[in-house]
Chains A and B, each alone.
Chain A
Amino acid sequence: MEAVVGNKKRSKGGLAISKGRFVLGVTIPLLLYEALGIFILGWAFALIFFDYSSGRVGGPFLGLGGSNPFVGLGHFVEMFSGTSVKASLFRMSLKNTLIFAFAILPLNLVVTLSLAYLLESIGNRFKALYRTIYFLPVLTSSVGVALIWMSMYDPQAGWINAIIRFFGGTPVSWLSDPRAGFLGVPVAMWAVILAYLWQDYGYNMVIFIAALQNIPQELKDAALIDGASPWQTFTRITIPLIQPTLLFVCVMTMLSSFQVFDIIQVMTNGDPGNKTQVLMLDIYKNAFRYQNLGWAAAESFVLFLIVMGVTIFQMRVLRTDWEY
């Protein structure tokens, strides 16, 4: 009997050791990875307070100080009240980013929700086909999308101008005319917004389709019996019931819009006259072209604060405290 108990104890101890080893084996790599992430974030945060350039040796500790001097909050003061070229470029980039993000969000919602509603109303036979077609641009690389739209926008050989010429209109230099605009926004910005929207809408559409499919049919039937029109059903039944999804889509769309980079870099690189230069592009240029890593880190921090603020606002406005 004692021998059996002893074996049980030994085997239990062995299991505990194995568990411990397993936990360590799984946790240590993760912790090391996290530590690296924390170091990178900490490093970026430290750079905010220095006029740091990778071309200068600087002080003995991580190159901070010396020829990479401490500037405190100087970058932020310069950004919002300075007269230097990098300050004016920052302000213009911030304005362009806000225009881009606040134009994309409503357009994206209108297009994706309408399409999702439309697809939900057609027969199952074609549903999968259309869903695939609409989702394909999401799978395409941004560079490829940019090149396709650039060829369409080409002032001389693009088919958009070809159609305008066919109807006797005046062709437009879509991506390089700083004078042309619509609703106070340069036409080049609208051109980029349209390309981005085309690439991105399939993602939200699929999410909305899933949300629409989860709405109980009884609720719609009840509304129909009560004499609600299709529009009333949509606005008073569908929209409130997909509000959690709407919140998710709004937050994710805003996040990705504020971080837009590749499609703009390829299509315009910020031209004409920096009218399409967004914050991510300005951060990239400052960090890797002009070596102003401290300034770029400060810009990134501002972008982080803006995105966080907008996200919190959206979550407060669109949050729900019920489930169905």
Chain B
Amino acid sequence: MKKLLFVLVLASLLITACGGGAAEPAAESPAADAPASGEKTMVRMWAHTNNSFIAGYEALIAAYEAGHPDVDIQLEHFDYELYLQTLQTSMPAGEEADIIQLFGTWTSQYHERLAPVPANVMILEQARETFYAAPIGGYEVDGVLYGFPQEFNMEYGGVLVNKTKFEAAGLTYPPEWKTMDDVLADAKALAQKDEAGMQSVAGFHFTAADPTWASFLAGIKQRGGDYWNADRTGFTFNTPEARAQLQWMMDAVNAGVVDPVVFNDSTNFVIDAFFQGKVGIGYIGTWAIAEGQTNFPDFADEWDYVYLPPTQGEPVFVADSGWGLTVSPNSKHQDVAWDFVKFVTADPKNAAQWNIASGTIPAMPAVAQAPEIAEAMPWVPKALDSLPYGEYLGTMPDRDLVMYEIIYPHILNALQGVETVDQALEAIDAEANSTFE
């Protein structure tokens, strides 16, 4: 009996140990995996839960299946945090879906576990011609293409404006800003404090995480600097251009347009605060429009989405790609998966349909300029002049760490009076470069 138990324990240990290994990529033998006559080819697709995104996918899946009756695409979606965990546990085990929705900047972290785009689907040069530079840049690693973007995630330059508050303050509406000084002048007129001296309305809320890093990096670029060294092996954040931009942000806070202790990423986040009437001008990407409309249907103030003028010079900015689709190398139906991905992302009509459903800026110039986009999303034509100036953020060892644990906290510390400009820049430079080690 004891011997039997010992053998069973040993066997179970071996089984569990062997089960944790990474699965070998599936051999590309479509014939071997082809479904029997009459059976459908089942392809699984994973995405994060965003109701408008999912509605867009479901419509395109239905359209694809109508044209391919032998294909069954199963869409599964997960809450954002759960999606991250699911990707990280399933990919090493080789258990991921055939089609995986990824954010562009994640591609460089996952590319070893992704299938390159086959040449018969699209080559890199074609992709660069088809998509804007910023979104496609996220899907390219060392000259290899790993997927296609569906949106141009533009965190720089766009603001929600509260028309009701503008008119109440006697300001020109729609705003006719030529320079950032014009923006600050309006913001000062919009800002309000309560009887105890606490800011109750932020004139210009730019102190959430994404607007902070986006405006900081764009400001460096527009002042003629760069945050990359010459061969892109390290960062250069302690520069005159970075100092000038951070000082500009400090001056804006000192002018009273926003109190960064009361309005930041964790307290009075820009979308929540704007749609509760606590913000005059709220700096945020276009994705906030759909979210605000969904989450705050009773917000009575009139509002719009407009774009800021550059700090100086050309409106150069950096963007971190956007959501898009990739394919697993473990998929037994890679040909079908890539055909569907191309159908969704690279067909202008379908891409436009998804962008309208999800309220996102198109990743393709041809789609961004389409009349149906202008009709459905009037804020997109306003961005058309800026989009070609967008550059890809660059492949970083860990983009989230640099943006959310280094740049944003130190800039916020400076704006809140905990660090000086020099201290913040030195810390950002040293800590960001440590991510290369």
Interface residues in chain A, defined as those with a beta carbon under 8 Å from any beta carbon in chain B: 20, 23-24, 27-28, 31-32, 35-36, 38-39, 43, 53-58, 61-63, 67, 83-86, 88-89, 155-156, 161, 164-165, 169-171, 173, 175-179, 268-269, 271-274, 285, 287-291, 293
Q: Tell me the chain B residues, 397-413 only, with Cβ under 8 Å from chain A.
A: 398, 400-401, 405-406, 409, 412-413
- Cβ-neighbour of B262 out of A20, A28, A155, A269 (below 8 A): A155
8 closest A-B pairs (Cβ-Cβ)?
A: A176-B267, A84-B434, A85-B431, A54-B88, A55-B109, A35-B12, A39-B16, A57-B112
Q: Which residues of B contact A84 (CB under 8 A)?
A: 431, 434-435, 437
Whether A55 contacts B91 by the Cβ 8 Å rule is yes
For residue A79, give the distance in angstroms from its CB to the closest CB of chain B: 14
Q: Tell me the chain B residues, 104-154 only, with Cβ under 8 Å from chain A.
A: 109-110, 112-113
- Cβ-neighbour of B434 out of A24, A85, A171, A268 (below 8 A): A85
Whether A288 contacts B266 by the Cβ 8 Å rule is no
Roughly how many angstroms separate A202 CA and B420 CA in the complex, as a whole number? 45
Given contacts A62-B20, A164-B196, 11 further A-B contacts (CB under 8 A): A55-B110, A56-B112, A67-B112, A85-B401, A85-B432, A156-B278, A176-B266, A178-B416, A179-B418, A271-B264, A288-B88
Can you list 21 residue pairs at the A/B interface with Cβ under 8 Å? A32-B12, A35-B12, A39-B20, A43-B20, A54-B87, A55-B113, A62-B21, A67-B112, A83-B430, A85-B405, A85-B431, A165-B194, A165-B195, A170-B196, A173-B198, A176-B262, A176-B264, A269-B266, A273-B409, A274-B405, A285-B405
Roughly how many angstroms separate A86 CA and B397 CA in the complex, as a whole number? 13
Roughly how many angstroms separate A271 CA and B268 CA in the complex, as a whole number? 13
Interface 1/0s, chain B 50-84, versus A by CB < 8 A? 00000000000000000000000000000001001
Instruction: Answer whether residue B371 sits at the interface, using C-beta atoms and an 8 A cutoff.
Output: no
Whether A63 contacts B22 by the Cβ 8 Å rule is yes
Q: A85-B405, A269-B266, A273-B412 are in contact. Are A289 and B194 (CB under 8 A)?
A: no
Q: Tell me the chain B residues, 19-66 only, with Cβ under 8 Å from chain A.
A: 20-22
Q: A176-B262, A290-B401 are in contact. Are A165 and B196 (CB under 8 A)?
A: yes
Instruction: Answer whether residue B183 sits at the interface, using C-beta atoms and an 8 A cutoff.
Output: no
Roughly how many angstroms separate A313 CA and B85 CA in the complex, as a whole number? 36
Whether B262 contacts A85 by the Cβ 8 Å rule is no
For residue B433, give the distance in angstroms from its CB to the closest CB of chain A: 9
Whether B21 contacts A61 by the Cβ 8 Å rule is yes
- Cβ-neighbour of A273 out of B413, B430, B437 (below 8 A): B413
Q: A54-B89, A85-B405 are in contact. Are A291 and B109 (CB under 8 A)?
A: yes
Whether A288 contacts B81 by the Cβ 8 Å rule is yes
Whether B8 contacts A156 by the Cβ 8 Å rule is no
Determine the residue in chain A with the shortest Cβ distance to B259: A173
Q: Which residues of B contact A31 (CB under 8 A)?
A: 5, 8-9, 12
For residue B18, give the distance in angstroms from its CB to the closest CB of chain A: 9
Interface residues in chain B, defined as those with a beta carbon under 8 Å from any beta carbon in chain A: 1, 4-5, 8-9, 12-13, 16-17, 20-22, 81, 84-85, 87-89, 91-92, 109-110, 112-113, 194-198, 200, 261-262, 264-268, 278, 398, 400-401, 405-406, 409, 412-413, 416-418, 430-432, 434-435, 437
Whether B400 contacts A268 by the Cβ 8 Å rule is no
Q: Which residues of B contact A291 (CB under 8 A)?
A: 88, 109, 398
Q: Which residues of A contact B265 (CB under 8 A)?
A: 271
Q: A39-B16, A57-B113, A272-B416 are in contact. Are A176 and B261 (CB under 8 A)?
A: yes
Determine the residue in chain A with the shortest Cβ distance to B91: A54
Whether A38 contacts B266 by the Cβ 8 Å rule is no
Q: Which residues of A contact B268 (CB under 8 A)?
A: 155-156
Roughly how many angstroms separate A173 CA and B416 CA in the complex, as a whole number? 12
Determine the residue in chain B with the shortest Cβ distance to A265: B81
For residue A175, give the distance in angstroms from its CB to the closest CB of chain B: 6
Q: Which residues of A contact B413 (CB under 8 A)?
A: 178, 273
Whether B9 contacts A272 by the Cβ 8 Å rule is no
Q: Which residues of B contact A38 (CB under 8 A)?
A: 13
Q: Which residues of A contact B418 (CB under 8 A)?
A: 178-179, 273
Roughly how many angstroms separate A177 CA and B266 CA in the complex, as a whole number? 11
Whether A173 contacts B261 by the Cβ 8 Å rule is yes
Whether A155 contacts B21 by the Cβ 8 Å rule is no
Roughly how many angstroms separate A246 CA and B194 CA in the complex, as a whole number? 48
Whether A271 contacts B84 by the Cβ 8 Å rule is no
Q: Which residues of B contact A173 (CB under 8 A)?
A: 198, 261-262, 267
Roughly how many angstroms separate A313 CA and B11 CA in the complex, as a whole number? 39
Whether A179 contacts B266 by the Cβ 8 Å rule is no
Determine the residue in chain B with the shortest Cβ distance to A88: B431
Roughly how many angstroms separate A161 CA and B413 CA in the complex, as a whole number? 23
Determine the residue in chain B with the shortest Cβ distance to A267: B266
Q: Which residues of A contact B409 (CB under 8 A)?
A: 273-274
- Cβ-neighbour of A57 out of B22, B431, B434 (below 8 A): B22
Roughly how many angstroms separate A170 CA and B413 CA in the complex, as a whole number? 22
For residue B250, give the distance in angstroms from its CB to the closest CB of chain A: 16
Q: Which residues of B contact A39 (CB under 8 A)?
A: 13, 16-17, 20
Determine the residue in chain B with the shortest Cβ distance to A271: B266
Whether B16 contacts A53 by the Cβ 8 Å rule is no
- Cβ-neighbour of A290 out of B91, B92, B400, B412 (below 8 A): B400
Whether A170 contacts B197 by the Cβ 8 Å rule is yes
Q: A175-B266, A179-B418, A289-B400 are in contact. Are A89 and B405 (CB under 8 A)?
A: yes
Roughly how many angstroms separate A241 CA and B81 CA in the complex, as a whole number? 47
Q: A39-B17, A55-B91, A63-B92 are in contact. Are A171 and B85 (CB under 8 A)?
A: no
Whether B262 contacts A156 by the Cβ 8 Å rule is yes
Roughly how many angstroms separate A39 CA and B416 CA in the complex, as a whole number? 47
Q: Which residues of B contact A62 (CB under 8 A)?
A: 20-22
For residue B288, give the distance in angstroms from its CB to the closest CB of chain A: 19
Q: Which residues of A contact B112 (CB under 8 A)?
A: 55-57, 67
Roughly how many angstroms separate A224 CA and B436 CA in the complex, as a whole number? 71
For residue A109, give the distance in angstroms from its CB to the closest CB of chain B: 31
Whether B92 contacts A54 by the Cβ 8 Å rule is yes
Roughly how many angstroms separate A170 CA and B262 CA in the complex, as a whole number? 13
Whether A175 contacts B267 by the Cβ 8 Å rule is yes
- Cβ-neighbour of B9 out of A35, A156, A274, A288 (below 8 A): A35
For residue B13, give the distance in angstroms from its CB to the closest CB of chain A: 5
Whether B92 contacts A171 by the Cβ 8 Å rule is no
Roughly how many angstroms separate A272 CA and B418 CA in the complex, as a whole number? 11
